[in-house]
Amino acid sequence: MRRIPRLRRPSGLPSTTTNVSRTTIQIQCRHPSCQRQRPTVTTFSTTFSPPSLNRLYSSDRQQTPASSSAPAQEQIQELQPRVADEIISAETGESLDWADEGLTAAREGPYGAPPQRVEAARENDVADPSYLPATTAEGLRKVGGLADWWYRPDNWDVTGDFISFRPREKVVDPVLIEAAVRRAVVEALALREVGSDDELVAVWPMAMSKSDLLGLLNWDVKGTEDGRVTLGGDPSAVAEGLRWKDEDTSAGSDDLAETLTSEEVSALAETWHPSWKTISLTDPRIRFAVTKRVFQLTGQLVPDHQLPSTTTVQALLRVLKKPPKSATLNEEIQKRHPDLLELPNVTVAAKRVTRGDKEKALGRFKIMQEEFKKRDIPGLGHGYARKGKEVRRLKGGT
Amino acid sequence: MAARGARGLNEAMKSLSLASHTCRDAASVRRYSTPILQDMLFIHSSANLDGWLDPDTVDDICALNGHRSSPADHNHKHQLPFSIQHSLETRFVSFPATVPVTIFNFPSYEPQRLESWSSKHLYLPLRRDILHLAVVYEGDNTRQGSANSKTRYEVHGSHKKIRRQKGTGLARVGNKQSPMRRGGGKTFGPKPRDFGTKITRKVYDLAWRTALSYRYRRGELVVCQDGMELPMPAEFETLLQSGRLSESAELEASFRAKWVKQVLDTNGWGRQAGRSTFITSSRRDDLFDALGLVPNWGRALDVSDVDVKDLLETGRIVVERDALMHMIESHQSDIIPKIFVTNAALPSRAVSGEILVE
């Protein structure tokens, strides 16, 4: 009988490997310890920006001054106390506190329900003879509806977010991937050495202090010719750490929140014995444990059809380190073939260069628009034909 | 004359056979005629190797081993250097009878089990032509074919002659229903009909498994354990039971929508990842209702509503194990013999679902 894990247990159906039966999932408090091992994500593929030199067309995305919304806010702040004074419960004579801050949730768990509906007293029921009900919306404060209720941070706490087995951000840095693979291999082999084979397919906690992790990665792992592996460390301590604890140990430690950086790992990786990459993964149980752990740590999943060919650590690393395919040709050229950008007769554009873009690049577009205006011709597109005519007709428009 | 014609035809055939190869085809013909592949095709004369042999790989091996192919040694497979034969045998000859399939938990996406499935079920070579046949067949049979227009004999009204034949100075006319007149019948208009076409059942079944294999090979087949359902968080259920969300039905719906979006985005199955198709063996209320609220994130289908085209759409297929097994078992007429074979030495039917790691 395996233990029921408590920390950062991915939500889902009852696992067959851990005899837990639940119908609804328990959202557990996102304790700092739950987040501490979230891997560092490098952003070389996501924060990609093409050099502006290659642009042939002008862009509408200019820097806009951020002060445009300031007057509106001032007006609201000015209006707020006045209106709030007016909204007074007829029976109690007390000011309703939700009127000051709009609709606020009465939250007990991570999700907050809206307050109970309050009906204003009818004109006849108000004791004050000078009371005059509003007949238009002019001057009344807008409290807001429930349309984006769950998207307001007050009503949906981050502790209520869905927790998956896969980390939220995928690790794409090859160095960090290699570190995760080494950690997974050492952990799996340690469990095998200790003799707890059942634990190989269970869920392992991610929390580990940085010093412990560095120590683990620093083990002198060697693969020998005859397929045996020397771990160079104490496997029982690692195996103990891979068990889910019912009690939350080492809570609130800052050391756990730290993650390894790419530089630290690459400095460490130079000391690793190269034979660790020849460690065999032919045992399906070990391979399953390693790939599962790597998926949990990095979000990198080895596709099923590549599993049979990942017989060594080296093969696994090759699969995982393969950079993702570029989404666009432009991205591919910028990243992988920068030499093409140097060619004198080649221009690379991020999106299709249209007739208008060419005119804009020449500076002729504004002149053309002025001339169009003089002749009462639409400057952009066809003024007479609207888009989506068919769609409008389908929706009942004429 | 006949002799000339025959000679001309022969010449035409010859020129056709030469000209019908485009450069690319010619290259592939050259590659496949290398002795290595002759050798392999000899070994696997019965196997369909279209998807297994990558001409580039074979060329690579040739280059690695310094072997040059020439048309002269086509039929001399024993002249092959041993290293090539050896490397080919290790790479191609032992193609797998089974392939591994990871069974995930849903919705946590935790790998729970490794199973072995027959490669006749999930590792077939891609046959675009067969997929095309199947999709066209399904499209034909989906057509409603109910377009209908009235002929002159169905249009309502009197069939009286509009005016007399002669003497008015106007053109001669018959009745009001004439196709030439406004409001008259349509001469060759559409009538309800069946656009359905037929397909060989074995081809259709092969298309099903080819589509699944295509997804598998691209890593776009996520198999989840039985009983796939999208559980709502316990706190939300408490809120529902306390009646505090009862004022607005849209509040409950928007919660479900946000929750399912979050689940899909966290697992990399959502809108950014090209939507997903969820297939279960029966209708699961929470999952189906929630996905119905966010059609841009994915769609849910009962296994009885799935066809080949559905398997080829969207970014990935997230399928319940039971549903996948059902799809395969009901589409394997081409690999199950209709005759009863008692010889135990003969290969038995393809078996899937054996547990490797649990």
Q: Return the residue of A nearest to B244 by Cα.
A: A113
Does B108 sit within 8 Å of A10, measured CB to CB?
Answer: yes
Confidence of residue A226 (pLDDT cuts 50, 70, 90): confident
CB-based contact B105 A162, cutoff 8 Å: no
Q: Do B232 and A24 touch (CB under 8 A)?
A: yes
pLDDT tens, residue by residue, A290-341? 999 999 999 999 999 999 999 999 999 999 999 888 889 999 999 999 999 9
Which residue range forms the structural domain that includes residue A98? 32-160
The answer to whether residues A192 and A98 belong to one domain is no
* CA distances in angstroms from B236 to A113, A201, B247, B293, listed in the order given: 10, 31, 15, 17
A148 shares its domain with A188 = no
Does residue A10 sit within a domain? no
Q: Distance, in angstroms, between B15 CA and closest chain A CA?
A: 40
CB contact (8 A) between residue B245 and residue A113: yes
Least confident interval from A119-133, B13-27, B185-199? B13-27
pLDDT exceeds 60 at position B91: no
pLDDT of A291? 96
Q: Are residues A379 and A317 in the same domain?
A: no
User: Between A167 and B244, whose confidence is greater?
Assistant: A167
Residue A393: per-residue pLDDT: 77
Could you give the number of structural domains in chain B? 1
- Residue B274 in contact with partner chain A when CB distance is under 8 A: no
Buried b / exposed e across B273-293, counting CB within 10 Å, b at 16+? bebbbbbbbeebeebbbbbeb
Task: Provide the residue range defining the domain that includes B321.
Answer: 101-143+195-357
CB B130 within 8 A of CB B312: no
Question: Are residues B266 and A164, on separate chains, in Cβ contact within 8 Å?
Answer: yes
Q: Measured between CA atoms, how close is B310 to chain A, in angstroms? A: 22
| Chain B residues in contact with A298 (beta carbon < 8 A) | none
Task: Please check whether residue A352 lies inside any domain of the structure.
Answer: yes
Which of the four pLDDT bands, split at 50, 70 and 90, describes residue A12? low
Asked if the model's pLDDT at residue B46 lies above 90, the reply is no
Beta bridge pairs of residue B117: B99
Q: Contact A17/B232, CB-based, under 8 Å?
A: no
Identify the residue with better confidence: B85 or B12: B12
- Look at A150 and B258 and tell me if their CB atoms are within 8 Å: yes
Which of B52, B90, B110, B320 is the best mutation test for A, with the most CBs of A within 10 A? B110
CB contact under 8 A, A13 and B255: no
- Give the number of other CB atoms < 10 A from CB of residue A206: 19
Query: A151-163 pLDDT, tens per residue?
Result: 998 899 999 999 9
Residue in chain A nearest B218 by alpha carbon: A303
A1 within some domain: no
User: Tens digits of per-residue pLDDT, A66-101?
Assistant: 333 334 444 444 434 433 344 433 333 343 444 444
A181 and A156 both lie in a single domain: no
Identify the closest residue of chain A to B96 by CA–CA distance.
A308
Report B:243-272 residues touching A (Cβ under 8 A).
244-245, 247-248, 250-251, 254-255, 258-259, 262-263, 266-268
Specify the higher pLDDT residue, A256 or A136.
A136
pLDDT at B28: 41
Q: Which of A186-190, A195-199, B190-194 has the lowest mean pLDDT?
A: A195-199
Residue type, A67: S
Average pLDDT, chain B: 80
Give the best residue of B92, B94, B114, B115 to mutate against chain A (max A CB count within 10 A). Answer: B114
CB of B285 within 8 Å of a chain A CB? The answer is no
Q: How far is CA B166 from the centre of its chain?
A: 66
Least confident of A123-137, A153-167, A384-398, B144-158: A384-398
> What residues of chain A lie within 8 A of the CB of B113, using their CB?
16-17, 201
Q: Are residues A255 and A209 in the same domain?
A: yes
Tell the burial category of B73 from Cβ atoms under 10 Å away from its Cβ (0-12, 13-18, 19+): middle
Q: Residue A229: which pLDDT band, with cuts at 50, 70 and 90?
A: confident
Q: For residue A24, is it within any domain?
A: no
Contact B233 A114 (CB under 8 A): no
The more confident residue out of A111 and A384 is A111
**Stretch 271-310 of chain A: residues touching chain B, C-beta under 8 Å:** 284-285, 288, 291-292, 295, 299, 301, 303-308
Same domain, A261 and A372: no
A386 and A291, same structural domain? no
Confidence grade of residue A378 (pLDDT, cut at 50, 70, 90): confident
Q: Which residue has the higher pLDDT, A206 or B308?
A: B308
- Of A98-107, B117-126, B147-156, B185-194, give the lowest mean pLDDT range: A98-107
Residue of chain A with shortest Cα separation from B213: A305
The mean pLDDT of B200-217, rounded to a whole number, is 97
Nearest-CA distance A288 → chain B (Å)? 7
A201 inside 8 A of chain B by CB: yes
Pick the last residue of a domain from A160, A190, A208. Answer: A160
User: Which pLDDT value is given to residue B14?
Assistant: 62
Point out the residue among B100, B236, B242 whose CB comes nearest to the CB of A308.
Answer: B100
Instruction: Say whether pLDDT at A49 is over 60.
Output: no
- Distance, in angstroms, between B217 CA and closest chain A CA? 6
Instruction: Return the residue of B nearest to A202 by Cα.
Output: B112
- Would the CB atoms of B259 and A162 count as touching at under 8 Å? yes
* φ, ψ dihedrals at B357, nearest 5°: -135, 130
In this structure, is residue A330 part of a structural domain?
no
CB-CB contact of B211 with B131 (8 Å): yes
Q: Is residue A11 part of a domain?
A: no
Task: Looking at the structure, tell me whether residues A205 and A300 fall in a common domain.
Answer: yes
* Residue B156 lies inside a defined structural domain of this protein: no
Cβ distance A292 to A239 under 8 Å?
Answer: no
Q: Which residue of B has its CA nearest to A285?
A: B357
Q: Determine the pLDDT at residue A235.
A: 81
**Bigger pLDDT: A33 vs B163:** B163
Q: Is residue A167 part of a domain?
A: no
Percentage above 90 pLDDT, chain A: 27
Average pLDDT, chain A: 74
* Burial class for B144, CB neighbours closer than 10 Å (0-12, 13-18, 19+): exposed
> Is B125 among the domain residues?
yes
Q: Which of A297, A321, A345 finishes a domain?
A: A321
Count of the separate structural domains present in chain A? 3
Closest chain B C-alpha to A16 CA, distance in angstroms: 7
User: Which helix (H) or strand (E) covers residue A287, if one does?
Assistant: helix A284-298
Name the more confident of A132 and B285: B285
Q: Return residues 221-280 of A near B (CB < 8 Å).
A: none
Per-residue pLDDT at B210 exceeds 50: yes
Is the Cβ pair B268, A114 closer than 8 Å?
no
CATH of the domain at B278: 3.40.1370.10
Please give the pLDDT value at position A103: 64
Alpha-carbon distance B248 to nearest alpha carbon in chain A (angstroms): 8
Residue A100 inside a domain? The answer is: yes
> Which of A235-239, B78-82, B85-89, B98-102 is the least confident region?
B78-82
Q: Would B185 be classed as within a structural domain?
A: no
**What is the Cα A52 distance to its own chain's centre?**
28
Q: What are the chain A neighbours of B232 within 8 Å (beta carbons)?
A: 24
pLDDT band for position B10 (cuts 50, 70, 90): low
Interchain CB distance below 8 Å, B235 and A292: no
Nearest to A299 by CA among A10, A7, A2: A10
With a CB cutoff of 8 Å and minimum separation 6, the contacts of B105 are A10, A12, A13, A15, A165, B111, B112, B224, B225
Flag whether residue A105 sits within 8 Å of chain B, measured between CB atoms. Answer: no
CA-to-CA separations, B282 to A236, A371, B24, B275, B306, in angstroms, rounded:
46, 64, 47, 21, 12
Chain B CB within 8 Å of residue A29 CB? no
Q: Across residues A32-46, what is the average pLDDT?
A: 37
Q: In chain B, positions 114-173, which contact chain A (CB-CB < 8 Å)?
A: 114, 123
Instruction: Supply the Cα-derived Rg of chain B in whole angstroms.
Output: 31
- CB B293, CB B174: distance < 8 Å: no
CA of B239 to nearest chain A CA: how many angstroms apart? Answer: 7
The residue ranking higher by pLDDT, A15 or A58, is A15
Please tell me the distance from the alpha carbon of residue B120 to that of residue A253, in angstroms, as a whole number. 53
Task: Say if pTM beats, i.e. exceeds, 0.95.
Answer: no
Which residue in the set A17, A147, A151 is minimally distant from B112, CB to CB? A17
Q: What is the pLDDT of residue B8?
A: 62
Is B32 a domain residue?
A: no
Top mean pLDDT of A35-44, B3-12, B249-258 is at B249-258
Give the alpha-carbon dihedral of B225, B226, B231, B234, to 10 degrees: -90
Q: Name which of B57, B105, B113, B123 to mutate to probe chain A: the one with the most chain A Cβ atoms within 10 A of its Cβ.
A: B105
B335 to chain A, closest Cα gap in Å: 22
Q: Does a structural domain hold residue B235? A: yes
First-residue to last-residue Cα distance in chain B: 78
Query: pLDDT at residue B268 above 60?
Result: yes
Same domain, A143 and A252: no
**pLDDT score of B68:** 43
Distance from CA of B226 to the nearest CA of A (A): 9
Task: State whether A366 and A276 are in the same domain.
Answer: no
Same domain, A209 and A317: yes
CB contact under 8 A, A111 and B221: no
How many residues are recorded in chain B? 358
Q: What is the reported pLDDT for B7?
A: 61
CA distance B51 to chain A (A): 14
Complex prediction ipTM = 0.72
Ranked by mean pLDDT, which of A50-59, A294-303, B88-97, B334-343 comes out on top? A294-303
